[in-house]
Structure 1
Amino acid sequence: MSTSSARKQRKWSQHVTETSDALDLRHGVFNKSPQAIARSLKASAEHSRRRKSAPFRSAMSMLNFYINRAGKSLTVAQRTRLGKAKNALRKAFGKPAKAAH
């Protein structure tokens, strides 16, 4: 991949985060405990005027976007914490938790 291509990909991700109908998140939210991540995403989804879908769907989409964007750079501990945050988010919205594989 060329340097300009890599730069374009970073800019695309930043552009999506800044201009899409995504949630407005607090800085560093994904570095907290799974429960704190879930609480913050839930609060952002419920108060956001930028989202297009239901609060749960918007919050889970933002969490998945972060996980996918970070990709291989996530450590096993970070990936585990974010997986637990998904279940905490489901619980916060009264949805059934997914079983671990």
Structure 2
Amino acid sequence: MVGDARKWSRKVTETSHALDLEKGVFTWDDPKRIAASLKRAAEESPRRKGTVLQSAMSILNFYINRAGRDLDPERRKILEQAKTELRALCRERPD
């Protein structure tokens, strides 16, 4: 089952139509750049449900949660910082 779950989450991450993400966005080292990219993807998506912040945060949380224990602690720290940056970006200009 674990293998099936990993295949499922990988497929969702790669083929989801919720947001069109820049390639490698979750591997970048700059939390501000990650947040800006996720915000831009949410703003541009005609399929978005909810606010820009909700949509962008949802995909970020999905990635973090699916990685689980396998997520490198430094990568997790960067992605958690991206959440803070995303909130700040979305506060500056509401959708």
- Give the TM-score category using the shorter length: 0.7 to 0.9
Specify which of 4, 8, 24 is matched with residue 12 of structure 1.
8
The gaps in structure 1 that reach 5 residues or longer are: 96-101
Question: How many positions carry a matched residue from both structures?
Answer: 90
Higher RCO (CA 8 Å, separation ≥ 6 residues): 2
- The structure number with the bigger radius of gyration is 1
Q: Choose between structure 1 and 2: higher helix proportion.
A: 2
Specify which of 80, 91, 95 is matched with residue 77 of structure 2.
80
Runs of 4 or more, structure 1, over 4 Å off, are none
Task: Report whether the alignment pairs 1:42 with 2:39.
Answer: yes
- Give the CA deviation at 1:38: 0.4
Q: CA RMSD in A?
A: 1.6
- Give the CA deviation at 1:16: 2.9
- Give the CA deviation at 1:83: 0.8
Determine helix, strand or coil for the equivalent of 2:35: helix
- Give the CA deviation at 1:46: 0.1
Question: Aligned residues: percent identity?
Answer: 50
TM-score normalised to structure 2 length: 0.84
Give the Cα–Cα distance (whole angstroms) in 1 for the partners of residues 11 and 72 of structure 2.
Answer: 25
Amino acid at match of 2:23: H
Determine helix, strand or coil for the equivalent of 1:53: coil
